[in-house]
Amino acid sequence: MRYRTVNDIDDISRDIALAVGFIGEGEYRNSLEAIRRSLNLKGFVTQFDDTVFALELDLWNLERLRARSFGRLRSFPNQCHAGIDFLIGLGQTIPVLSEDGKKRLLGRLRKGLEEGLWPLQHELAVAANLSKRGWDVSFNDLERGRGFDFLVTQNGMTFEVEAKAISVHTGSPLKPEDIFKLLVEIKRRFKWQDGRTVPVIAVKFSSNVPPDRTRLQDLVSIINKVAETRCQLSVHDMDIRFMEIIPNLGREELRKYGHFRAETCKKPVLINDTRPQVILELESGRPSKLGIKAIRTIKEAAAEQLSGRNPGIVWTHVNFVSAAEFSMLSSSRNGMPCLFDQIANATLCSQRRSHLSQLVFSGASFLDRSYLTQRSSYRAVVYDSPSCRFGNSVIFEGGRKKHSSKADEKVSGTCEEINKNA
């Protein structure tokens, strides 16, 4: 199949109506509303809350706009560009699938509305990108229920493409479910007498938040002591430090302050917004395992999903990453390889993966605007295999060349920006 190159407001409205009708309007709206409510009820915030659920909140806002305009959008809501891009891809994909393919897609949509739609969002974005480059796209995984995601053909060339999406916070030791358990104990056991003020306390764990309830209760007792004495204590592989006292701002303002603090310090922030209020700034001494997760993901995709009968591409999208963070992941500094360089070296330089032609890493979505058009886009970097057994044919020109598996080798190259269709 091939996607439209340009979409006007009527195209977008039709695609949205088709996608919503495919899921079921009532089910779709109820699912989005449930996500919005759960976010408002959650008692802690992280620096990535706004991005983790950004797609679902885009879709919720678009449904509100659609309901007010009787099903037809009157303008292109720029702040919802990722949601529009997702629905455009969905609206054009549904009609070309077989009945079995539609059933599989519907199952993935329903699961995504419970667990997150961003993996499917990435797959549709990859399909649109390949189509924009002139490739005919077949949905192998949706149609067959196994294997790689897309088979793409052009001028007698055939490639297999597997789209993977991982969170930039993959491997983080501070798990939301453990933070929630800590919040439960804070609500039960935290003590603070002055209702006019709220203490801010930093808690640094050597590894993760202890999941054991007894240890969490001990931690709250220590937090109480730190709040009372305004001191710093180190106990049980944890450092608890008094930071400051702020005025009691009220629940809504306290939440806003928590979001601001989480974004500023780049750490999870736990807020108890009912009396007695407290703000906890959480940190772990254990580094993220993003690189290890990405290497494992690419190796598994190459071994288990790509068939080896055609040159293969694994496109890994790093979700919830800012432009500055993506630049750090993709740019060498002071002669040291960046994380993406190291991942490419670890995966492309093995004869067991000689069927790989290229790796693509992307992230940091943004709205790319020109005088006449605008499109949802993201930044990306491409790596060419040094020894693909199918030769030097590639889909993406200008990729970085990898010639050694040495992790300390300096790698040159440029970061290519790849635009999605919108």
Say whether pLDDT at 44 is over 90.
no
- Would you state the structure tokens that stand for residue 272, as one six-digit string? 């108890």
Say whether pLDDT at 267 is over 90.
no
- Separation between Cα atoms, residue 69 and residue 294, nearest integer Å: 43
Residue 180 covered by a domain: yes
The pLDDT value given to residue 51: 67
Residue 234 covered by a domain: yes
pTM of the prediction? 0.81
Mean pLDDT of the chain: 88
pLDDT tens profile 114-132? 989 999 999 999 999 999 9
Say whether pLDDT at 417 is over 70.
no
Q: Say if CB 298 and CB 359 are below 8 A apart.
A: yes
Say whether pLDDT at 100 is over 80.
yes
Instruction: Look up the domain containing 219 and give its range.
Output: 176-284
- Separation between Cα atoms, residue 280 and residue 199, nearest integer Å: 9
Say whether pLDDT at 369 is over 90.
no
- Separation between Cα atoms, residue 158 and residue 395, nearest integer Å: 10
Residue 267 covered by a domain: yes
Residue 235 covered by a domain: yes
- Separation between Cα atoms, residue 194 and residue 208, nearest integer Å: 31
Residue 383 covered by a domain: no
Domain count, the chain: 1
Residue 112 covered by a domain: no
Residue 405 covered by a domain: no
- Separation between Cα atoms, residue 410 and residue 407, nearest integer Å: 9
Residue 187 covered by a domain: yes
- Separation between Cα atoms, residue 114 and residue 49, nearest integer Å: 16
The pLDDT value given to residue 32: 95
Q: Say if CB 313 and CB 357 are below 8 A apart.
A: yes
- Separation between Cα atoms, residue 406 and residue 304, nearest integer Å: 26
Q: List, in sequence order, every residue forming a beta bridge with 246; answer none if it has no partner.
A: 198
- Separation between Cα atoms, residue 280 and residue 240, nearest integer Å: 10
The pLDDT value given to residue 407: 40
